[in-house]
Amino acid sequence: MNIQLRYFASVREKLGTSQESLAVPAHVQTIGDLRAHLRERGGPWAETLADGRSLRMAYNQQMTDASARLSEGCEVAFFPPVTGG
Amino acid sequence: MPVRVQTQDFDVGAEIAGLRAGDARVGAVASFIGTVRDINDGSGVSEMELEHYPGMTEKSLEDIVAQAKARWNIFEALVIHRIGPLKPLDQIVLVAVTSAHRGEAFAACEFIMDYLKTQAPFWKKETTPQGARWVDARVSDDKALEKWQGGPQGKP
């Protein structure tokens, strides 16, 4: 399954990238699985996406949680709590 | 368009005039303007950079406006949020709501701002004498949201 990934604000800076296309292995089915899968890259990925870090997730541009299921071509974003207004 | 994300400044008077133009049902207009402060968390702020998630931002603001319209008897709601580099004194955000009576307009305006602060994907990075830093989300913003949950308070 191929998905699009987006990163914003402090998460984008710590990871050093704003977006990527990724082919995910079959066992990665939810956003929570994806977060764990990306942590395996180590370094800033392990640190920034660690459990317990205050992180927000969006699935196809809607705020969601770790249980959201991935689908072919979907867009997933990781970012810190929002601070607009 | 009831929702706009833009780098340029906005003219509050002209925006409100446009919002209620030709609509004699309107008896109340409530508006909120957020501006850049020169101090935050004890440090001077010389500049602020607003980042957002293009696409999701507009959708989330439209969704918040739709929720406000479902909850109160309001006629129109406008949200303008600026992005890019801003300086102290600059305007950041405008929320304006029209209704027949003030109660709905005040409540819907506050509701839209409270949801925007916690749901719309904007992030502030401020430049201080100690360097640039991302602004932390405030617990008080989550608290502000709680008063709208669990019932249609303010609905006439």
Write the pLDDT tens digit of every residue in A4-14.
Answer: 999 999 999 99
Structure tokens at A36: 């764990």
- Please state the domain extents for chain B: 3-142
* Interface membership of B59 toward A (CB under 8 Å): yes
Asked if this assembly's ipTM is beyond 0.90, the reply is yes
pLDDT at B154: 47
At position B82, the amino acid (one-letter code) is R
* Interface membership of B124 toward A (CB under 8 Å): yes
* Interface membership of A46 toward B (CB under 8 Å): no
pLDDT at B149: 87
Q: How many angstroms separate the CA atoms of B145 and B110, rounded?
A: 10
Torsion of CA B69, B147, B106, B41, to 10 degrees: -120
* Interface membership of B83 toward A (CB under 8 Å): no
On chain A, the residues whose CB falls within 8 A of the CB of B122 are 82-85
What is the set of domains in chain A, with CATH numbers?
A: 2-79 (3.10.20.30)
Regions of chain B with pLDDT less than 70? 1, 151-156
On chain B, the residues whose CB falls within 8 A of the CB of A10 are 123, 134
Assigned architecture for domain B3-142: Alpha-Beta Complex (3.90)
pLDDT at B1: 62
Q: What is the DSSP string of A66-81?
A: TTPBP-TT-EEEEEPP
pLDDT at B155: 47
Helix (H, G, I), strand (E, B) or coil at A2: strand
Mean pLDDT in residue range A22-27: 97
Name the pLDDT band for A47 (thresholds 50, 70, 90). very high
Q: Put the strands of the sheet holding A62-64 in their side by side order.
A: A19-23, A2-7, A75-79, A56-59, A62-64
